[in-house]
Chain A
Amino acid sequence: MINLSSLFHSFPRSSVGMQIASLQRRVKLLSLITFYLFSLPTLANDWLQSAELNYRPRYIETQTPLTDPQAQLLDYSHHQAEFYALIKLHKSLDKLNIISQLRPSWTYQQQAHEAGFNIDELYLDYALSPSIFLSLGKRNLFTGVALGRNPTDYLAENKSVDSSQDPERRRDLRRGNYLLTAEWYLDNAHLSLAFAPQFNDTQPEKNRLLLRYNQLLEAWNTDVTGFVFLAEREGLGLNLSTTVNDNWVVYADVSLRRGRDRQLEGVTTHHHKNVFTDAVLGSNYSFNNGLGWYAEYWYQENGYSDSEWQSLIDLSQQSTAQLNSPAHGLGIEQLVSINQALKPLYLRQHYLFNRLSYAIDSNTETSLSHIFNLDDNSQLIRWHVQRNIADMQLRLQLEHLAGQQQSAFAMRTAQTTVLLNLNWRFSP
């Protein structure tokens, strides 16, 4: 980074020659900065699709979960803050498009700062014909029709997302895969193929291939998408969405996968199946007064069953008991492993998701979300209100996790979170 203040420091007095050389360097640097400043609007006009700045401070009321009795393994910081920019670039050169999404960020947590620079996307997209496209590079592909969870979002299953973001936009804020894609648009249909090769540490997953076919059944007001996913855990998927009447849309996001991705070491399991179902059945109802209601049922057979969960709890308690014994190290090791396994937010098999949203006026909207774990009655409640003020958006969000000590949502350190999001958006 260039330190601008150094440009205006007084000259060293050692010799005139050094002063002239230094002056030349500074003039050169200033000219360069001036050139970039003047060319920025052209760059913005040519490349910049949109840009936004976000500042997200949050206060977290924490608790000590069963899996970390000494409060040593997990994060208990009360104050966190994140600042990030989201820059979308698009350059069109006849049939070739260059597309990128950049996300520089800065986070503050437990008195430590961390800066990062995410290149979510950077790829070339080439039109072979008006209906056939090829792309190459890092790309964040979206699949699935549900709001809360998307079992058919195969290529993103190992990508982390910020669950405190709105469900509509959280998938936009994740890193893409290195992909080679081909797309063919037919009459009311779309066929696409995406290949994600294994790249040492950059893309460690084994080669993955996703074939997707989408068809609109106009007479039935229904969209159907079929997926074939060839990878270490193969999958077959189906998306359906249909308009029932002028207020009501229903949809399904269903996947059949070979094998499980849950950590089962030390956990007693009675599941000896090969194929596991992951399904979301949902609906979106619009009331005439503008109230919107999403309701979804999530079934993930891959999640921990009652017996597996109890076994995990028992293992956790055994490990805790070991902390005060000579096997202290083993106890810690096991608890670290258990906490690693409990990282996903949705650990169990049956959930209900409801969300009500309402526009209070033309610039203010609010929503209330509720995720209910049907296996252990634990729940997540999230409320938000946001207001647009010129190009700024101010958002306040409250989130609370509730449940008995051994329930899935009680395994998280954050109990209540108050989050503020200041957003400034710019588009040329």
Chain B
Amino acid sequence: MSISIDAPLERRNLHSHAGAWERVEQIVILVFSLFFYTAVSAVPEPQTALQAVDNIRAPGDNFSFTLDVEQQRPDDKTRHFQFDVKVKNNEKSLVTYTEPKKSKGKRILMVGANLWIYIPTTRMPIRISAQQKISSGIANADVARVVYSLDYQADSIKTVQLEDKDSYQLSLSAKNKGAAYQAIELWVATDDYQPIKADFYTKTGRKLKSIYYQDYQLVLGKKRPMLLEVHDALNPEDKIFMRYSELKLADTPDMYFQKSYLPRLPR
């Protein structure tokens, strides 16, 4: 995004016979204008900032990780899921349930905006929508997708204060109809683009959830958030924690990302 600056454009003859105060005033205005221009021009293009965020979330194009999801309910009942996630070319994800025991072997495949679920007892991969839930507060796409730029475009960026810190606020909108959310507001640190917080919205502008990016650790050469805290706007008393581990670069065979191949995948 570029911002035009109305700096004083009139050329004035500095060698005129104007008084010293006038010269000082001109110099001060010039210095402030230059400073202001430099500061504004440091705000990156929104898409560049989004790409920088994605580079923090995803260590490469092909990788895998383990994701533990813990859902704490107000009735003190805690629900735990564990997933093995494999990502190919950043746009294909294969999610395998490893816990709880009753869901073991269940799989979610995401290819672009296409999503299928495979349940061993039904044996047929079934096409599902991105908004279908794994559990309340967690959509399939939350687990299967790590990066934003595949499904969302960054429309604008601005510098704001978030919890007394300078941050960029990025406004994202869905690129395709299959994206899990219609709009996302994303706050990132100004110095290193580390995501801090994201709010997710429906078509009608209703807020669905907020995610807080926490526990930054040096993994595969970069500081990456290994814990996501989800605040579900529909069930505000629920607390959901998504912990990432065993993040590593891994090239999974192409075949694994085919819908028809799901029943053939190793146990």
Contacts and interface: CB of A to CB of B under 8 A. Distances in A.
A binds B: yes
Contacts of B129: 243, 245-249, 284-286
Interface stretch (B8-16, B221-229, B254-262): B254-262
Contact of A249 (B79, B102, B127, B181): B127
Interface in B164-180: 174, 176-180
A133 B176 CA distance: 36
Interface in B88-142: 101-102, 104-105, 111-115, 119-124, 126-133, 135-136
Contacts of A292: 132
Contacts of A49: 120, 267
B180 A246 contact: yes
Contacts of A243: 113-115, 127, 129-130, 177-178
A5 B102 CA distance: 36
A131 interface: yes
Contact of A284 (B114, B128, B266): B128
B17 interface: no
A214 B182 CA distance: 30
Given A133-B264, A241-B127, A50 B113 contact: no
Contacts of B121: 168-169, 172
A172 B123 contact: yes
A142 interface: yes
A242 B132 CA distance: 15
Nearest to B75: A361
Contacts of A133: 264
B73 A245 contact: no
B258 A190 contact: yes
Interface in A121-180: 130-131, 133, 142, 144-145, 168-169, 171-172
A145 B174 contact: no
A223 interface: yes
Contacts of B77: 361-362
Contacts of A242: 127
A142 B182 contact: no
Contacts of B217: none
B8 to A, nearest CB: 49
A10 B177 CA distance: 77
A427 interface: yes
B122 A168 contact: yes
Contacts of A326: none
Interface string A215-236: 0101001010000000000000
Task: Please classify how large the interface on chain A is, using the bins under 10, 10 to 19, 20 to 34, 35 or more.
Answer: 35 or more
A360 B50 CA distance: 37
Contacts of B120: 49-50, 88
Choose among A190, A216, A362 the residue with the greatest number of B CB atoms under 10 Å from its CB: A362
Contact of B182 (A169, A172, A246, A248): A246
A298 interface: no
A324 interface: no
A200 to B, nearest CB: 29
Contact of A362 (B79, B105, B182, B208): B79
Nearest to B206: A288
Given A185-B260, A190-B258, A286 B133 contact: yes
Contacts of B115: 243
B258 A185 contact: yes
A183 B263 CA distance: 13
Contacts of B112: 218, 221
Given A49-B267, A221-B178, A359-B136, A188 B258 contact: yes
Contact of A190 (B71, B178, B180, B260): B260
A216 B114 contact: yes
Nearest to B260: A190
Contacts of A244: 177
B127 A251 contact: yes
Nearest to A427: B104
B253 interface: yes
B234 interface: yes
A214 B260 contact: yes
Contacts of A245: 129, 177-178
A391 interface: yes
B114 A221 contact: yes
A393 B123 CA distance: 20
Nearest to A147: B126
Interface string B218-242: 0000000000000000100000000
A362 B124 CA distance: 24
Contacts of A427: 101, 104-105
Interface in A259-288: 284-286, 288
Given A145-B127, A172-B122, A245-B129, 4 more contacts: A169-B121, A216-B258, A246-B179, A284-B129
Going nearest first, the 7 A-B pairs with the smallest beta carbon separation are A190-B260, A245-B177, A362-B79, A241-B127, A243-B178, A286-B132, A246-B131
22 contacts: A50-B120, A168-B121, A188-B111, A190-B260, A190-B261, A214-B260, A221-B112, A242-B127, A243-B114, A246-B130, A246-B179, A286-B129, A286-B131, A286-B133, A292-B132, A361-B73, A361-B77, A362-B73, A362-B79, A393-B102, A425-B102, A427-B105
